[in-house]
């Protein structure tokens, strides 16, 4: 290349959009995020918290009523033996998936924008899995026998049936919960140290200090810590894909028309990520506004998540259409009937139309950039998706069972008040846990956000004139510069 | 409790920016120190090279943990659901766990039912790996611990906000009260203080 060519001929690399707006300093970030925990909560926090606690009480009442009366207080009976409870289970566990996607998959793919939302999304994962776990536990009928699900020797010498997808589910969900909790806790340790160092001596300082494990931010610690974080991300990535695949095996390995399809695992995983991102945005858009985090959770973050909703929503739409096509093309009369009943002639076609319009049509608004940047539109679409994903599970589970292979075993499902209030109660439980999280723990990963600021790069400005991305150079240097020999 | 006996823990020096800290670390490394560390609010990219740290050995632990999980899942499922162990002459193992065979679903009872065991094998691999990661990390970095001499420094808690520190410990063979202090001054350290450990 001609060295004397004018500089204007070299292609200019566009600047990246900053991840933190207004050039905020390290201490601004610390103060803003720790301030949420240290200052009095806004009135809105209480306005949301009190009803959430009341709804949690309602949930506890419903479960108590169910235990004391019997599982028949729920609406399911033959032929619809799985109904709202399993629908709610799949709904909640799906919501969790977005948290793991943000914390693990976006970490492995070096999407630095994840740092502003990963903490809250991981918290959401854990709380959603807690809500999810309640339903199958009570669905077993005698909830005090639920420990029989665990593979421990018992007096009957009967072991679990490890060939059953229902037991795979026990392992998948409990592993998912444990690993998510470990991942979340490990990410919290440096931030708990920040809170510890800001507290006056007392109970609070003791508790934050206890859970911060004596963290001192030494690079010899960070070095192992980052490896551990990377390993957990690498472990969580296949895990999260496996969890909803295993959930879908509950249906796909059966011989029920409408369930027995090979498309279920990818279809369920895409749907889970889709519904989960809608819930992340539902929570984070109000949080950024109420707590003044607009510089940390920027329109760019919302924009990126809206794009993921659009992508996964379209995958889900493809899966719906493919199901219809296979029902037609397989020439299997039972499969074809299952889908005719779902969409045209069955007793619950309304649910199918809700599902289709909320999940496939509503997200298409996100093709248009101004809609992705208008928080009201984003919230509207997210609400549609939240509802639509519940209807999807309801359609798959309850309406399929309403029509078995022979007309003699047909029935119509009707949810009871206990079904409805239990589900409503889990929303209260979820919100209560999330609000407590906002109150006591840093909602944004302080250390990680500081790490993506431009001034956190030790080689800032060194190569700016070449227009080369600094992190590319650093990644290269890490791999190729020989380590200096110890003296 | 306060006593008059104190032991020098080391020198603590503060730096203004990541860049200063990075270049200081390179010089401390080149001066041949071994027992020292930099403290920062977030992990600094490339700092391991600047300090001359080796790669973490944590992945090796985690590999062992994962293999343990797979093996446990395999043994658990085959011992309770198949006749595999009797076939290889280890039937006594099945006697120990006293199983009542669950012959359901028309699935094979020999080792060829193995694919049905893959999901649980996978999940336990992940579960054991994740816990090995957590506890392996804590073992490698020597945490949790109740206290540390550095917390006696009034300046040090800034490390979790916006402070960048280098601490050279007294147990380093090259440590000397004058020489180390001069080095830290030379590389641009500020607020240099001698951190002492109460005995």
Contact (CB<8Å) B137/A477: no
Contact (CB<8Å) B120/A238: no
Nearest-by-Cβ selection for A223 from B56, B107, B133: B56
B157 near A CB under 8 A:
yes
Q: Residue A202: CA atoms inside 13 Å, Cβ hemisphere, count? A: 5
* SS3 category, B182: helix
Nearest-by-Cβ selection for B17 from A190, A194, A455: A455
A470 to chain B, closest Cα gap in Å: 11
The token duo for A136 is: 């199958």
B32 near A CB under 8 A:
yes
* SS3 category, B24: helix
Kindly state the DSSP code that residue B109 receives in the 8-state scheme. Answer: S
Within 8 A of B97 by CB-CB distance, chain A residues are 153, 159
| Residue A112: inside a domain | yes
Please answer whether residues B78 and B141 qualify as being in contact, where contact means their C-beta atoms are separated by less than 8 angstroms: no
Of all residues in chain A, the percent with pLDDT exceeding 90 is 59
Residue A417 lies in domain: 37-454
Beta pairing partners, B197 = B7
Distance (Å, rounded) from C-alpha A247 to C-alpha A134?
15
What is the model's pLDDT at position B7? 86
Please answer whether residues A434 and A126 qualify as being in contact, where contact means their C-beta atoms are separated by less than 8 angstroms: no
Nearest-by-Cβ selection for B120 from A168, A186, A198: A168
More confident residue, B102 or B34: B34
- Average pLDDT over chain B, rounded to whole? 89
Q: Residue A414: CA atoms inside 13 Å, Cβ hemisphere, count? A: 3
Within 8 A of A228 by CB-CB distance, chain B residues are 56, 58, 133-134, 136-137
pLDDT band at A484 (very low <50, low <70, confident <90, very high): low
Within 8 A of B119 by CB-CB distance, chain A residues are 165, 168, 171-172, 242, 246, 249
H or E element in which residue A242 lies: helix A219-252
More confident residue, B3 or A68: A68
- Residue A467 pLDDT > 50: no
Q: What is the CB neighbour count within 10 angstroms for residue A4? A: 5
| Residue A314: inside a domain | yes
Contact (CB<8Å) B161/A171: no
- Residue B104 pLDDT > 90: no
Condensed to tens digits (0 to 9), the pLDDT of residues A97-143 reads 888 888 898 899 888 888 889 999 999 999 999 999 999 999 988 89
Q: Which residue has the tokens 């004391």?
A: A68
Distance (Å, rounded) from C-alpha A49 to C-alpha A451?
33
- Residue A60 pLDDT > 90: yes
Interface test with A, best of B31, B38, B42 (most A CBs within 10 A): B42
- Residue B92 pLDDT > 90: no
Contact residues, B window 59-88, toward A, CB-based 8 Å cutoff = 59, 62, 76-77, 80-81
What is the model's pLDDT at position A465? 44
More confident residue, B121 or B50: B121
Helices (runs of H) and strands (runs of E) counted in chain A = 18, 0
What is the model's pLDDT at position A322? 93
- Residue B137 pLDDT > 70: yes
Long-range contacts from B54-58, C-beta under 8 angstroms, 24+ separation: B54/A483, B55/A227, B56/A223, B56/A224, B56/A227, B56/A228, B56/B140, B57/B140, B58/A224, B58/A227, B58/A228, B58/A231, B58/B133, B58/B136, B58/B137, B58/B140
Condensed to tens digits (0 to 9), the pLDDT of residues A295-345 reads 889 898 999 999 999 999 999 999 999 999 999 998 888 889 888 888 888
Nearest-by-Cβ selection for B19 from A163, A239, A460: A460
Distance, CA of A16 to chain centre: 27
Strands B36-39 and B164-169, bridge-based pairing: antiparallel
Contact (CB<8Å) B105/A164: yes
Contact (CB<8Å) A457/B45: yes
Q: Give the list of residues 6+ apart from residue A330 with CB closer than 8 angstroms, or none.
A: A336
Percentages of chain A per state (helix, strand, coil), in multiples of 5: 75, 0, 25
Closest CA to A182 of B128, B56, B160: B128
Contact (CB<8Å) A153/B113: no
Contact (CB<8Å) B58/A168: no
B120 to chain A, closest Cα gap in Å: 6
Considering only B35-39, B57-61, B88-92, which range has the smallest mean pLDDT?
B88-92
Q: What is the CB neighbour count within 10 angstroms for residue B67? A: 13
Distance (Å, rounded) from C-alpha B76 to C-alpha B123?
13
* SS3 category, A80: strand
What is the model's pLDDT at position A405? 84
B62 to chain A, closest Cα gap in Å: 8
Within 8 A of A153 by CB-CB distance, chain B residues are 97-98
Closest CA to B18 of B56, B50, B51, B44: B44
| Residue A485: inside a domain | no
Q: Give the list of residues 6+ apart from residue A156 with CB closer than 8 angstroms, or none.
A: B100
Condensed to tens digits (0 to 9), the pLDDT of residues A24-35 reads 889 899 999 999
Burial of A170 (0-12, 13-18, 19+ CB in 10 A): buried
Within 8 A of A227 by CB-CB distance, chain B residues are 55-56, 58-59, 137
Nearest-by-Cβ selection for B144 from A178, A179, A213: A213
A189 to chain B, closest Cα gap in Å: 11
* Whether residue B180 has a cis bond before it, omega within 30° of 0: no
| Residue A300: inside a domain | yes
Q: Give the list of residues 6+ apart from residue A335 with CB closer than 8 angstroms, or none.
A: A257, A258, A260, A326, A327
What is the model's pLDDT at position A242? 94
- Residue B98 pLDDT > 80: no
B134 near A CB under 8 A:
yes
Within 8 A of B104 by CB-CB distance, chain A residues are 161, 163
Tell me what the mean pLDDT of segment B173-191 comes to: 89
Within 8 A of B127 by CB-CB distance, chain A residues are 175, 178-179
B121 near A CB under 8 A:
no
- Max avg pLDDT among A434-438, B83-87, B104-108: A434-438
What is the model's pLDDT at position A475? 52
Interface test with A, best of B15, B45, B124, B151 (most A CBs within 10 A): B45
pLDDT band at A5 (very low <50, low <70, confident <90, very high): very low
Contact (CB<8Å) B37/A486: no
Condensed to tens digits (0 to 9), the pLDDT of residues A324-337 reads 999 999 888 888 98
Tell me what the mean pLDDT of segment A36-57 comes to: 93
The token duo for A332 is: 């299997």
Distance (Å, rounded) from C-alpha A271 to C-alpha A279?
12
What is the model's pLDDT at position A390? 94
Determine the residue of chain B that is closest to A173 in CA distance: B123
| Residue A123: inside a domain | yes
pLDDT band at A474 (very low <50, low <70, confident <90, very high): low
| Residue A475: inside a domain | no
What is the model's pLDDT at position A21? 81
Domains of chain B by range and CATH?
6-54+146-198 (3.30.70), 58-141 (no CATH)
Backbone angles phi, psi at A139, to 5 degrees: -65, -30
Nearest-by-Cβ selection for B133 from A215, A232, A487: A232
Please answer whether residues B159 and A217 qualify as being in contact, where contact means their C-beta atoms are separated by less than 8 angstroms: yes
Q: What angle do CA A181, B162, B38 make, to 5 degrees?
A: 80
Size of interface A-B (CB pairs under 8 A): 242
B173 near A CB under 8 A:
no
pTM above 0.80, yes or no: yes
Q: What angle do CA A41, A45, A51 make, to 5 degrees?
A: 145
Tell me what the mean pLDDT of segment A404-427 comes to: 90
Considering only A29-43, A148-162, A319-333, A390-404, which range has the smallest mean pLDDT?
A148-162
pLDDT band at A487 (very low <50, low <70, confident <90, very high): very low
CATH of the domain at A442: 1.20.1630.10
B4 to chain A, closest Cα gap in Å: 24
| Residue A28: inside a domain | no
What is the model's pLDDT at position B80? 86
| Residue A471: inside a domain | no
What is the model's pLDDT at position A8? 57
Condensed to tens digits (0 to 9), the pLDDT of residues A261-299 reads 899 999 999 999 999 999 999 999 999 888 888 888 989
Tell me what the mean pLDDT of segment A37-56 comes to: 93
Distance (Å, rounded) from C-alpha A198 to C-alpha A346?
61
Backbone angles phi, psi at A346, to 5 degrees: -75, 175
Domain count, chain A: 1
Contact (CB<8Å) A218/B39: yes
What is the model's pLDDT at position A69? 93
- Average pLDDT over chain A, rounded to whole? 88
B182 near A CB under 8 A:
no
More confident residue, A478 or B192: B192
Contact (CB<8Å) B18/A455: yes
């Amino acid at each position: 290349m001609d060295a004397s060519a004018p500089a204007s001929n070299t292609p200019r690399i566009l600047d990246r959009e900053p991840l933190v707006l207004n050039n905020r300093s390290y201490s601004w970030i610390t103060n803003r995020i720790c301030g949420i925990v240290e200052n009095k909560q806004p009135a809105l926090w209480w306005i949301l918290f009190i009803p959430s606690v009341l709804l949690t009480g309602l949930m506890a009442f419903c479960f108590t009523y169910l235990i004391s009366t019997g599982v028949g207080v729920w609406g399911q009976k033959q032929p619809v033996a799985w109904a709202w409870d399993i629908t709610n289970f799949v709904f909640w566990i799906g919501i969790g998936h977005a948290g793991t996607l943000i914390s693990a998959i976006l970490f492995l793919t070096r999407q630095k924008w994840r740092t502003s939302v990963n903490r809250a999304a991981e918290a959401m994962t854990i709380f959603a899995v807690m809500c999810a776990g309640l339903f199958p536990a009570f669905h077993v009928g005698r909830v005090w026998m639920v420990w029989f699900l665990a593979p421990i020797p018992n007096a009957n010498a009967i072991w679990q049936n490890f060939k059953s997808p229902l037991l795979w589910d026990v392992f998948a969900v409990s592993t998912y919960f444990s690993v998510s909790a470990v991942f979340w806790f490990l990410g919290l340790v440096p931030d708990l140290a920040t809170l510890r160092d800001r507290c006056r001596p007392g109970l609070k300082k003791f508790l934050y200090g206890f859970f911060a494990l004596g963290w001192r931010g030494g690079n010899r610690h960070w070095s192992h810590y980052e490896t551990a974080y990377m390993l957990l991300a690498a472990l969580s990535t296949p895990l999260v894909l496996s969890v909803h695949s295993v959930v879908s095996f509950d249906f796909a390995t059966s011989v029920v028309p409408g369930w027995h399809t090979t498309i279920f695992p990818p279809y369920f995983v895409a749907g889970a990520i889709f519904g989960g991102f809608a819930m992340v945005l539902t929570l984070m858009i109000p949080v950024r506004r109420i707590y003044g985090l607009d510089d940390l959770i920027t329109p760019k973050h919302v924009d990126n998540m809206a794009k993921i909703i659009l992508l996964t929503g379209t995958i889900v739409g493809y899966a719906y259409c493919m199901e219809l096509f296979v029902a037609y093309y397989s020439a299997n009369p039972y499969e074809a009937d299952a889908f005719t009943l779902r969409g045209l002639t069955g007793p619950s076609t309304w649910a199918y139309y809700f599902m289709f319009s909320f999940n496939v049509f509503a997200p298409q608004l996100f093709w248009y950039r101004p809609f992705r940047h208008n928080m009201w539109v984003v919230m509207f679409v997210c609400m549609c998706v939240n509802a639509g994903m519940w209807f999807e599970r309801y359609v798959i589970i309850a309406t399929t069972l309403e029509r078995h292979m022979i007309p003699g075993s047909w029935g119509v499902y009707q949810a009871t008040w206990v079904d409805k209030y239990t589900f409503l109660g889990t929303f209260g439980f979820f919100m209560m846990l999330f609000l407590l999280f906002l109150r006591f723990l840093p909602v944004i990963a302080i250390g990680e956000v500081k790490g993506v600021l431009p001034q956190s790069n030790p080689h800032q400005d060194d190569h700016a004139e070449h227009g080369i991305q600094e992190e590319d150079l650093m990644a290269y240097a890490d791999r190729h510069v020989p380590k200096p020999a110890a003296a | 409790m306060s006593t008059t006996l104190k032991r020098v823990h080391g020198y603590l020096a503060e730096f203004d920016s990541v860049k200063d800290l990075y270049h200081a670390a390179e010089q401390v490394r080149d001066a041949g120190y071994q027992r020292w560390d930099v403290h920062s609010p977030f992990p600094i990219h490339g700092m391991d090279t600047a300090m001359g740290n080796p790669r973490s050995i944590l992945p090796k632990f985690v590999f062992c943990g994962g293999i343990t999980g797979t093996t446990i899942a395999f043994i658990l499922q085959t011992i309770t659901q198949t006749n595999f162990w009797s076939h290889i002459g280890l039937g006594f193992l099945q006697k120990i766990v006293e199983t009542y065979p669950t012959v359901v679903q028309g699935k094979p009872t020999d080792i060829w039912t193995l694919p049905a065991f893959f999901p649980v094998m996978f999940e336990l691999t992940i579960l054991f790996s994740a816990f090995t990661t957590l506890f392996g990390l804590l073992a490698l970095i020597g945490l949790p611990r109740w206290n540390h001499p550095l917390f006696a420094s009034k300046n040090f808690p800034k490390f979790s906000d916006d402070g960048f520190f280098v601490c050279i410990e007294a147990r380093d063979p090259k440590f000397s009260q004058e020489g180390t202090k001069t080095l830290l001054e030379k590389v641009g350290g500020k607020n240099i203080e001698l951190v002492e450990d109460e005995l």
